[in-house]
Amino acid sequence: MEQRLRLNEFKALYKTLKTNTPWVDHLLLGVLVFIENILINNRVKVELDEAIKEWEDTLPPPPPPIYTETPSDTSTKLPEMRLRAPWVVGTDDTAEGG
């Protein structure tokens, strides 16, 4: 796996810190690539979190649920209560298949 620096700041830093000793240069390059990857991942995470937050702020609030209560003909004589989302089209009878 080839190690490359992607950001110009890290490329310039590597050029200034570079020595003529190959193993030291390779170690320096590895450390800079590691730090650069952490920095890039952090920048991406922050940008995405901010974009998602801005997008969520533009969404309208969800509508309140619909509450219905109908009298029951059962032996307990308790009313039938339903709570459903307003964006669901139809009744619960069609959802149950009958």
pLDDT at 92 (0 to 100) = 55
Q: How long a stretch of residues is the chain?
A: 98
pLDDT at 63 (0 to 100) = 85
Q: What is the pLDDT of residues 42-80, one digit of tens each?
A: 999 999 999 999 999 998 888 888 888 888 777 777 888
**Three-class SS of residue 63?**
coil
CB neighbour burial string for 50-86, b if at least 16 within 10 angstroms, e if fewer? eeeeeeeeeeeeeeeeeeeeeeeeeeeeeeeeeeeee
Residues 6+ apart with CB under 8 A from 10: 32, 35, 36
Task: Look up the pTM and report it.
Answer: 0.60
97 pLDDT above the threshold of 50: no
